[in-house]
Amino acid sequence: MRLLLARHGETEYNREWRYQGRTDLGLNRAGRRQAEGLCQRLSLEPIDVIYTSNFKRAAETADIITRGRGLRVVTSENLAELDFGKFEGLTYAEIVENYPDWQPGDYNFSAYGGESLEQLARRISAFEKKLRSDDPADADILIVAHAGSLRILLCLLLGIDIKNWRRFRLAPASLTVVEDFRGESVLTLLNDVSHLKTK
């Protein structure tokens, strides 16, 4: 099985460095251009099925990628981004100012009405198990989701403690590839943005 992991294109919250989580924003103009670049990058890649989160930014990115290809798209709520609770819509500086007791390394947002990292990991683990039971072992699968959910998926695939999830950088509309090799997951591409045009 080969997994192509694509983060959605940019939204206004991404541009403003705001915690987005479950806030359901669509792509901005730059995000749509990024998704077009990702579409071109993937145009020659064999893809059997696309899995996407149920949020607009991921669904729009997947929609742009599938234009003219007739690919099957499966929506999974388990791929949704981490719920940041009361932090949603705030910048890091605003969080520090409004919640001075919060520790930046603490990813248990359930204390603020959101979700813990462990809860996110359980969702992603359930998604991975269903993926492996539903799709053939030789399938090429594109997953369009969010930085948090894709980072946790990478940790689970590679056998890395989920506490290290922030060590993976996944830019908007980036492409990461994980392939099965003799029963183990091998990271063959990480955070590729070579398809995005820069000025």
pLDDT tens digits along 18-69: 999 999 999 999 999 999 999 999 999 999 999 999 999 999 999 999 988 8
Rg value, the chain, Cα: 16
Domain boundaries, the chain: 2-192
Please identify which of the residues 10, 36, 81, 115 carries the catalytic annotation. Answer: 81
pLDDT, tens only, 65-96: 998 888 999 999 999 999 999 999 999 999 99
Please give the Cα distance from 2 to 5 (Å, whole number): 10
- Whether 115 is catalytic: no
Please identify which of the residues 8, 10, 60, 146 carries the catalytic annotation. Answer: 8
- Whether 8 is catalytic: yes
Residue type, 60: E
pLDDT score for 198: 64
CATH class of segment(s) 2-192: alpha beta
User: Considering the entire predicted model, what is its pTM?
Assistant: 0.94
pLDDT, tens only, 136-157: 889 999 999 999 999 999 999 9
Please give the Cα distance from 127 to 74 (Å, whole number): 12
pLDDT, tens only, 93-123: 999 999 999 988 888 999 899 999 999 999 9
